[in-house]
Amino acid sequence: MHIHYFQHVPFESPGNIAVWAAERHYSFIGTHFFESHKLPDAENIDLLVIMGGPMNIYEEEKYPWLRKEKKFIRDVLERGLPVLGICLGAQLLADCLGGKIYPGEEKEIGWFPVFFPENRKGPFRLFPGTLDVFHWHGDTFTLPEGAVRTASSAACRNQAFIYGDRAAGLQFHIEMNEETISRLIAQSQDEPEGGRFIQKKREMTGRPDKIERNKTLLFRFLDEFLKGASAGGPQ
């Protein structure tokens, strides 16, 4: 199994996704857009994972590599390969599938619950009805045509979606661990503290029970996502 990930900034790494891949002895190689814009050969990957970042998907003038990244994502989707997008990655995925990305009414930063519908699809059925997850986003997206909403929160209606059996987007960060959360906080000192959906920084760390619960569900989700994509056959 060859997994390739896109990382946009040094402080938003794959976190527990890397742990999952290592435990299953999968090849796990990344493109770090903050260092190099060289893209892999799509024929040599079995899963593309798109990580988060502080930039907006429409800032192509400031981050010209976004154009290349979007083209690559579209190519991978056309090939029928599995794609998972997280936070900025979910927005990039939604954009490449025809959704619209725009600033949300409120920022969502910290630990807040997401809610999964009773009839949730595919690997999302493994999640409980409510789960506390870590958030750090200001933008949101419309659902692409053909996509199914699989999670919502009080601050953001579209927290997750699935498109067929090969593309899934998570606006929230289920991959975070204590180290990645601390790095994100350290790099975001200009963010406001407090607010309806913005926790104080001291409230975001020291949550080992939540992190471990998220890690367990992440591993189950990724196993099921790959299993479902493999079983689906060519689109």
Give CA–CA dist 139/169, Å, rounded: 14
Backbone angles phi, psi at 93, to 5 degrees: -65, -45
Helices 88-96 and 65-78: crossing angle in degrees, nearest 10, is: 60
Q: What is the DSSP letter of 143?
A: P
Residues forming the active site: 87, 173, 175
- Strands in the chain per DSSP E: 2-7, 27-32, 47-50, 83-86, 101-115, 130-141, 147-151, 160-163, 167-170
